[in-house]
Structure 1
Amino acid sequence: MAIPAITPSSRIDERGSVILDGITKRYGDQSAVDDLSLTIQPGEFISLLGPSGCGKTTTLRMIAGFERPDAGDILISGRSVLAEPPYRRDVNTVFQAYALFPHLSVAENVAYGLQQRRTPKSEVRERVSQALDHVQMRHFADRKPTQLSGGQQQRVALSRALVNRPAVLLLDEPLGALDRQLREEMQLELKLLQSRLGITFVFVTHDQGEALSMSDRIAIMRSGRIEQLADADTVYARPASAYVAAFVGQQNFFRGAVAGDGAEIESPHVRVRGGAASLVDGQAGQAAVRPEFVRIARDADAALPDVNAVRGRVIGVSHLGETMQYLVSIGEDQSLIARRPTPEAPALAMDDAVVCSWAPGDVLLFPADDAATAGGYVAPPTV
């Protein structure tokens, strides 16, 4: 029988809700997590996204009970769990390392936790069968882990976590060991599984693609705090800071003085105008434009607009499958990336003279002190 989809609830005292109330975790003088607060709704798929060292795994370990916060409180299903050890919390954790028992069969691995709880044998058989059905692994029940592929082993690890029917499933970069194609397949399967079961998923990853493709909301972390909490569309199209803009997707950054009543950046090679004034004239600022918003064409020696257009020279061409990517030098110390769908991409080669342009509505403006240190494209000097 099909399992009906369950949508996230708005009640924070229901089974599956998680509240982090000002939690802090220090290691010596360093704060791994710093006064972090977050409310997760029952049945929600939320991702903690950020680079190594941002505090996402430490946060997950505190929810699981493997670490104890130095300050703050953690509530699961409306009840504080600070005094409870991991095995008494209504959560299960799936790690990147599958940690399956090699001498046990798939079914025995899944049944292990139930047997430790002295669950009746008839119930164990029924629940193991259901758990394996959830991940489409019933036909592999008698195999040993060494006889399975990486993706199949990951499904068994998920089944073992789900068989206990936790209110919250914690996933610590569980797809990191898989190759790209299998990882993308598992992303789809994970989201479908979570939608069917209605279990709260808290997913830790440094892979923006995973977070964007699966999450109801994404908490982007920086230095132990949440920089932005929003759905995927908002995080991608309306990042709250240059840090978020740089980490989610890729950006071309142009830095310089703010002009044009707060809507323009006078960078050394191009004047960049945004769709709305958000800065103060005369101060230092930065503009960001995603590569997919950059139009590129051969240079026809025609006059260029005063803003959002620049001449350059192609110094790199990459075929990315559905898109073509061009690296363009626009000066001695800056390059930019343009990315176009393959069917409409111009046929360009190394050293071709080109014009790059973009619309004001595709420009994001940030103050200069909002450092884009999470990633993004920071152009090297051209050679």
Structure 2
Amino acid sequence: MTTATDAETAPATPPVTADDRGAVVLDAVTKRYGDQVAVDALSLTIQPGEFLSLLGPSGCGKTTTLRMIAGFEQPDEGDIKVSGTSVRGVPPYRRDVNTVFQAYALFPHLSVAENVAYGLQQRRTPKAEIREKVTQALDLVQMRRFGDRKPTQLSGGQQQRVALARALVNRPAVLLLDEPLGALDRQLREEMQLELKLLQARLGITFVFVTHDQGEALSMSDRIAIMRAGRIEQLADADTVYARPSSAYVAAFVGQQNFFRGEVSEAGAAVRSPHALVRGSDPRLAGTAQGEAAVRPEYITIAADAGDALPAANATRGHLIGVSHLGDTMQYLVQLGGDQSLIVRRPTPDAPALRIGDPVVCTWADHHVLLFPADAAAEDGGYIAPPTA
């Protein structure tokens, strides 16, 4: 029981410091919708000024997590702190957080400048200060000259910039972005990825970015939290999740992989599939009966089959069933058998001249092989298997 004396002598809540501002901490956060667990005891610490992406397929819990940080949803269990202070039960408008959605939700009857100023007006900010802050925000996104236009007079990319300016006009501690580039075409999306990263680096604001697009996450993030069934499967920088995925689920979701499934052999260092003995450089599957070996398309070499004997491991024969020109690379689709095909990518200048129907040989090095225990649950939950004919 807390006494009056205890209350009088208890230390006051420390003020938020510059080091705390923008930090986000989720402590064992759980969110349920009826019997469905959308977010399951998730714990995550986001550093001030970090660009962190929540990446995963539909239904993995990434948007629900973002909405709980924003205050649009409340956790059933656990706590959320923003800038060192718990925000559980705090409404969205009282949090030092702003959100940009895929649907920009601009007011069509207001000009660009009026859209950006709207939140400041609701807070009864002095008019002179509003003008100054709106100008600064539009300058940040290079939209000042469009200040008098209506949203319907803008392109999709310009509307996205206005939505960003509106979210940034008060310089929040945390900016939440819920798939904001999803409505843009590919070229504009790639341009905005670069602009977003440059803007975040310039402002030093914490960005939490939700996406199902691995390319967006890899190109912009300081760290990526790959989510699966309401939990974080792996949290690391882009290099780590691409080169050293923690599970077959992560390996399949980030980039493309060719998977070989079968019995584990060679004391855990290889997987014997129907089409090849796939050997890695680390016997990490010792004591495991069934496993999966993964090799990325860019690590596989391809050549016309001259009929020579194949190496004992990391080689296979097949027939070419597809060739695609991807600009800087050539992509080959090789049929290994009735149930599996292989994707191979080679730099265009070094790509062999092969035709559909040619018999080919594919080989790869053991240090490019990733080994994982068999993961049937991952296959059922959006796992990306190699293509079949």
Band of TM-score, shorter chain: over 0.9
* Equivalent position to 1:378, from 374, 382, 386: 386
1:290 alignment counterpart: 296
Alignment of 1:180-199 (within 5 A): 180-199=186-205
Q: CA deviation at 1:301?
A: 1.3
Correspondence for 2:79: 73
Cα distance between partner residues in 1 of 2:46 and 2:287: 40
The 2-side partners of 1:274 and 1:372 are apart by 21
Offset from partner CA, 1:70-89 (integer Å, 9 cap, x none): 00000000000112100000
Following the alignment from structure 2 to structure 1, what is the Cα–Cα distance between the partners of residues 63 and 108? 27
**CA gap 1:256/1:12 in 2 versus in 1, 3 angstroms:** farther
**2:371 paired with 1:365:** yes
- The aligned counterpart of 1:268 is 274
**Higher mean C-alpha displacement, 274-283 vs 28-37:** 274-283
- How far off its partner does 1:324 sit? 1.1
Match of 2:248 in 1: 242
Matched, 1:326 2:332: yes
1:105 aligns with 111
Equivalent residue for 2:342? 336
**What's the % identity of the aligned pairs?**
78
Q: Counterpart amino acid of 1:71?
A: E
Q: Judge conservation of contact 2:248–2:375 (CA < 8 Å) in 1.
A: no
Q: Counterpart of 1:261 in 2: which secondary structure? A: helix
Q: C-alpha distance in 1, partners of 2:306/2:288? A: 34
- Tell me what 1:160 maps to: 166
What is the correspondence of 1:176-255 to structure 2 with a 5 Å cutoff? Answer: 176-255=182-261
TM-score scaled by structure 1? 0.95
Q: Which runs of 5+ in 1 are unaligned?
A: 1-10
Separation of aligned partners in 1, 2:248 and 2:173: 36
Task: Render the CA deviation track for 1:163-198: whole Å, top value 9, x for unaligned.
Answer: 011000000000000000000000000000000000
SS at match of 2:268: coil
**In the alignment, which of 353, 356, 377 is matched to residue 359 of structure 2?**
353
Deviation track 1:215-266 (CA, whole Å, cap 9, x = no partner) reads 0000000000000000000000000000000000010000111111210111
Q: What TM-score results when the alignment is normalised by the length of structure 2?
A: 0.93
After TM superposition, the structure 1 = structure 2 runs for residues 54-65 of structure 1, keeping only pairs within 5 Å, are 54-65=60-71
* CA root-mean-square deviation: 1.3
After superposition, the C-alpha distances for 1:62-118 in whole angstroms (9 at most, x for unaligned) are 000000000000000000011210000000000000111111111111011101111
Distance 1:108-1:90 versus aligned 2 partners, 3 A rule: same
* Partners of 1:113 and 1:349 in 2: CA distance: 60
Name the CA distance, whole Å, in 1 between partners of 2:80 and 2:331: 45
Change over 3 Å in CA distance of 1:370–1:230 after alignment to 2: farther
Q: Determine the C-alpha separation between the residues in 2 that align with 1:187 and 1:75.
A: 28
**Alignment counterpart, residue 139 of structure 2, candidates 133, 147, 162:** 133
Are 2:128 and 1:119 aligned? no
Question: Greater CA deviation, 77-86 or 361-370?
Answer: 361-370
1:170 aligns with 2:209: no
Q: Is the 8 A contact 2:288 2:373 kept in 1?
A: no
CA contact (8 A) 1:259 1:281 kept: no
Q: Which segments of 5 or more consecutive residues in structure 2 lack a partner in the other structure?
A: 1-16
